[in-house]
Each structure stands twice: as C-alpha cells, then as structure tokens.
Amino acid sequence: MSINNADLIVKILKDSGITHGFGIPSGNVLPFIEAMRKGGIQFVLTAHEGSAGFAADVTGRMTGKPGLCIATLGPGATNLATGVGDAYLDRSPMIAITCNINTNLFGRRIQMHIDHHTLFRPITKASLPLRRGQIASTLEEAIHIALSEPQGPVHLDLPEDVALASATEEAPPIPEGKKFRPAPDSAIEKFGQLLRDAKRPVAVLGSSAMRMEDIGYLRSFVEKHQIPFASTTMAKGLIDEDHPLSIGCIERSCRQLQRSFLRESDLIIGLGYDVIEVEYETWIGDVPLAHVDIEPADTDASVNVAYEVVGDLDASIRRMNSLDAGSNEWPSGAALNHKESFQKSLRPKTETFTPHQAIDVVRSVLPREGILSFDVGAHTHQIASQWPVHHPRTFLITNGWSSMGFGIPAGIAAKIARPEIPVVTIIGDGCFTMTCGELIVAKRMGLPLPVVVLDDRWLGLIQVKQNRRNFEIYGTELQREEYRDPPAHYFGVPAVGVRDPESMEKEVKKALEADGPTVIEAVVDPGHYMETVFD
C-alpha cells in the first residue's frame, strides 16, 4: 500500500516514541492530521497555538521523547512561536511543524505567507524545510538535534504539496541524542582538591541536572560530603526537599535569607547549573564558584570562577562520588535550622485568606508524588520557595522563557503523559484570563485537573515592582467591582468559589476525584507579597 509523505513523517515520529501532538488545524494542516489519525498519533486540539507549544514542551520533559506541536502558516506559526521559544530556553526536546502553502507559491505575496524559517531560526536549535526525497533524512536529523544536549526544539516546515506527494523513502532508524564528552580526569582531580580545601561548601542544583540519566548521583554526592544544597526553581525535587541538607529554592520569595546562607560558604558548587534560570552574579557575592555542567559558566567579571568541570554531567558527578570525603565545618543541623527559619518567614501572620495558605492547602491534599503545574506571576515566587518537592519532574514551571500562559497547558500535558498521577494547576487571575479557553481541552479529554485560580484582582507581580520603584499603580488592575459568586461553569467546566482554607481543602479533594477539570476560584489577599517577593 502506497503512503504519502505525511504518512511517512507520522510513522517516523511514532517510531521515535511520540504519542500525542498538540495544535490547531487549517486547510494546509489537514493532510498531516489525517496522517496522524491513520498512523496512531493522537491530535489534541488546543484553544491557542501557544498553548500547543507549552504542552509539547512539558510532554518532552515528562517522557524524554520530543514533544510535538503543529500549526498552520502565518498567524498560526507566530502564535506557536511563544511555546517553541519556551522549549528553547527551558531546554525541552520538541518537534514543531508548520504546515505551509504549496512550494510553487513560495516567493510570492500570498495570503498569510511569511518566511517561517526566519521566524523560528532564533528560537530553535534548527529550522529545516521538508522536501520531496529528503523526508526521512530530515526527520532523522531533526530528532537527533532535538535530543542532543542541550536539548531543545527543532522546527520543520511542511508545504501541503510535499505532504500529499507519494513517499519515495523508507523510515530511518530512530537516532539517539548526542551527549557531551566526559570531562578529563585531571578536571575531576582538581575539583577534588578544591572540595577538600573548602570548610563550608554549598551545592546548588540547576536545570541541566533535570536531564541526567541517573539523578541518584546528586544525592550520593551531597550525602557523602555532607554538603548543604539548594536548587533553582526548575531543579526542585531532584533531591527530596525533606532532606536534612536541603535549604530550599534560591532567588524567589524571601531571597535575601537564602543569599545570606549561601554567602556564609567558602565554595559554591553549581551542579548542572544553567544560568538561563538566574545568573550567578545575581546572588553569589564574592564566594568562589566551582561550576560543574555540560557547558562553561556564562558569568560577568564579578564572579570568582575558581574552577569549571565541563562535560557529560552523569560522568562528572559519578566520578566526583569516588573522591575521598572531605570534612567541613558546617554546624550539625545548620541547613535544617536555616530551612525552618526560611519557611516560617514565607508565611507571615494574617487575619485574611492569603496565597500562602491556599498553596499549603493544595500541597497537603496532593500526594507526595503528585504533579503541580503553575504559571508566571507573584504566586510563582511564593510557590517556588514554599512548596516542598519530593520527586523529579513533579514541579512544572517555565523559568528560562518565563511566559504567562504556561500553567493550564502544562497541567493538561502532564496528565496525558502520566494519567495515573494526580495533577493540580495553580495560576493567577491574569494567567487565567489568558488561557481559560484551554479548560475545554481538559473537559473534552476527561482529565481530572483541578485548576486553582489565585484571584486578587491585580497583576500582582507587576504591582509589587511598581511599588518598589515608587511608580503609581497603573495598568495592572484586572477587576474593579466587588466579588460575587463565580459562574457555575466555564465552557461546561464546573467552577466553585472558596474564601477560606477549609472550603479550599474540601473543593480540591473533590476536584481530584472528578471525571474532568474543575475551576476553583480562591479569592485571596495578596498583601504579604509585598513582604516576601524580592525580599
């Protein structure tokens, strides 16, 4: 039976482990969607192409296979670009396909037509055209590039006539990604000397470590050398944050407390630390840095880079575990005592229902292995500092791209990838207005996804920044009228309102048992953000 090129593309993608693709169709996209239907990759219709990109990003993180998103030409492509850029800076493997006009129309001023390669080239690892006779080789190259470190998105442009043309090639063997070479033994030996000389070392885990094959090396390292450790936002959970050596997340709420502990050390060890989340110079002060990652540290001249171990991260940390254990002078329980003080500072006393109370309620209801997705705003800072994470890939946020609109698509993708694990999404009211249409995706697919909206009537993070800079509060108000009960539903998705921790707990538990999504509108007093965010 003859197949066309769209069928061949779908076969190669399915062979690579892809099971779902997210997007919005148009006439140009229909041949590819039909190939997905016949070929066994489920097409998930989203409300916006940007959400399709976010969902594909998270699918890549959760599965280790490239996420897949699809859009039409012109405005579909420009909308998709936001989600593709997210995968680029957050280092998630992805195949992003734009379906285009027929090749004989290229170069003309045609409705909706733009140069997709010029659009996607700056925000992808590669932007490749799909052409007759080169389908298999191009897909093989794209998958290899997406999975090679540092991982990321590859854009493919598929003209409709190419999609419909008869395939003339066989599907290739599915490639693996390329890893970095191991660092030389001399680098590990010199690092070992630095570690032995240090009296108060601290490790900071970063997002490159999320992609290690064996994250157990991280825990073995800090335990062998009894080194207190922190993490960036995206790296939370690589080691259980209940660990007595954990001090929690850096550079979010109450950040000055974390900086004070880090600056008591005499050696910062960045383990898989990718500065795309936060630059070293923001927080390290004059403490010497030992940077252990797949790429050299990108710092300004103020950072005292004592040494770098650059190469495959698994290989580096595995060999670092063979180093003789040094002694350090951290008092017994120093990390645990600091973490307790830090966590207490995140929860100022109040007479009103606050974001930190709402967050604690959700954490208490969600099991330890449960997955949280959340969005960008003032609540991001609070959640990152406050929420304890016990397992890797259960704490989903964009911190490299840091785009609003991530939370709901991320929750949907996580629930599709891991249907057996409870998932909750927490977002601000500003983010909800951006992506509330994606609720219908969760409803259509029957996903039990509680969506907690922290509703304070403002773009809270921007209001905090205006206050800090002595600007007038302007352009950040979302709603003026007093709150009433929320509507009974959004697009058929039930919506409930909560005003206190007790009703919050009740509704989250109920939502986790539902046969579809539920919106839980938590009306909160954001006043404590002024005390915790950026302090």
Q: How many domains does the chain contain in total?
A: 3
**Edge-first strand listing for the sheet containing 229-231:** 246-249, 229-231, 201-205, 267-271, 289-293, 305-310
Q: Grade residue 433 by pLDDT with cuts at 50, 70 and 90.
A: confident
State mean pLDDT over 406-429.
97
Dist. CA 321–CA 220, nearest whole Å = 7
pLDDT of 481 reads: 57
Q: What pLDDT score was predicted for residue 172?
A: 95
Closest CA to 433 of 372, 375, 361, 499: 375
> What pLDDT shows up at residue 103?
87
The Cα 492–Cα 137 span in angstroms is 45
Q: Does the residue 171 lie in any domain? A: no
> Using 50, 70 and 90 to split pLDDT, how confident is the model at 430?
confident
Bridge partners (DSSP) listed for residue 424:
372
Say yes or no to pLDDT of 147 above 80: yes
For residue 463, the domain's CATH number is 3.40.50.970
The first and second tokens of residue 320, run together, are 């670092």
Overall average pLDDT of the 88-114 stretch: 90
Reduced to 3 states (helix: H, G, I; strand: E, B; else coil), residue 153 is: strand
The residue with tokens 């965010």 is 533
Tokens 């938590």 belong to 522
Instruction: Mark whether 57 and 102 lie in a shared domain.
Output: yes
Higher pLDDT, 430 or 418: 418
Q: Which of 336, 355, 387 is the last residue of a domain?
A: 336
Give the pLDDT score at 418. 98
Asked if residue 178 is part of any domain, the answer here is no
- Are residues 213 and 322 both part of a single domain? yes
Residue 194 included in any domain: yes
155 and 197, same domain (yes or no): no
Peptide bond into 150 cis (omega under 30): yes
Q: Give tens-digit pLDDT for 22-54.
A: 999 998 999 999 999 999 999 999 999 999 999
What CATH number is attached to the domain comprising 210? Answer: 3.40.50.1220
Whole-number Å distance between alpha carbons of 375 and 133? 43
CA–CA separation, 123 vs 188, rounded Å? 34
Both 391 and 512 in a single domain?
yes
| Mean pLDDT score, 194-217 | 97
User: Which one-letter DSSP state was computed for residue 183?
Assistant: P
Would you say residue 60 has pLDDT above 60? yes
pLDDT at 186 over 90: yes
Coil, strand or helix at 493: strand
The answer to whether residue 173 sits within a structural domain is no
Q: Output 464 or 97, whichever has higher pLDDT.
A: 97
Q: What percent of the chain has pLDDT over 90?
A: 83
Report yes or no: 491 and 440 within 8 Å, Cβ to Cβ. yes
- Model pLDDT, residue 484: 58
The average confidence (pLDDT) of the chain is 93
- For residues 156 and 204, state if they share a domain: no
pLDDT of residue 444: 95
Asked if residue 359 and residue 227 are part of one domain, the reply reads no
Q: Are 282 and 405 members of one domain?
A: no
Q: Three-class SS of residue 450?
A: strand
Q: How confident is the model at residue 477 (pLDDT cuts 50, 70, 90)?
A: low
Among 336, 363, 387, the domain boundary falls at: 336
- pLDDT tens-digit series, residues 491-515: 678 999 999 999 999 999 999 999 9
Q: Are residues 257 and 112 in the same domain?
A: no
176 is a domain residue: no
Query: What pLDDT, on the 0 to 100 scale, is given for residue 474?
Result: 62
- Residue 87 within a domain: yes
Whether the predicted pLDDT of 113 surpasses 90: no
Look at residue 27 in the predicted model and tell me its pLDDT: 87
Residue 482 has pLDDT above 70, yes or no: no
pLDDT at 101: 87
Specify whether 462 is located in the same domain as 324. Answer: no
Specify the pLDDT at position 207.
97
Same domain? 360 vs 300: no
Q: Which domain holds residue 249?
A: 185-336
Write down the pLDDT at residue 523.
85
> How sure is the predictor about 112, in pLDDT bands with cuts at 50, 70 and 90?
confident
Collapsed DSSP state (helix, strand, coil) of residue 322: coil
Residue 476 has pLDDT above 80, yes or no: no
356, 505: one domain: yes
Share of the chain above pLDDT 70, in %: 93
Judge whether residue 480 has pLDDT over 60.
no
Once rounded to an integer, what is the mean pLDDT over residues 96-102? Answer: 93
Helical residues (DSSP H) of 254-309, grouped into ranges: 255-262
Token pair 């994470």 is at which residue? 389
104: confidence class by pLDDT, cuts 50, 70, 90 = confident
User: Does residue 530 have a pLDDT over 90?
Assistant: no
DSSP 299: -
Domain end point (choices 133, 164, 195): 164
In a domain, 323, yes or no: yes
Average pLDDT, stretch 168-180?
A: 95
On whether residue 172 sits in a domain, the answer given is no
β partners of residue 100: 159
Question: Sorting pLDDT into bands at 50, 70 and 90, what band is 213?
Answer: very high
Q: Is the pLDDT of residue 463 over 80?
A: no
Summarize pLDDT for 333-354 with one digit per residue, the tens.
999 999 999 999 999 998 899 9
Do residues 59 and 193 share a domain? no
Write down the pLDDT at residue 378. Answer: 86
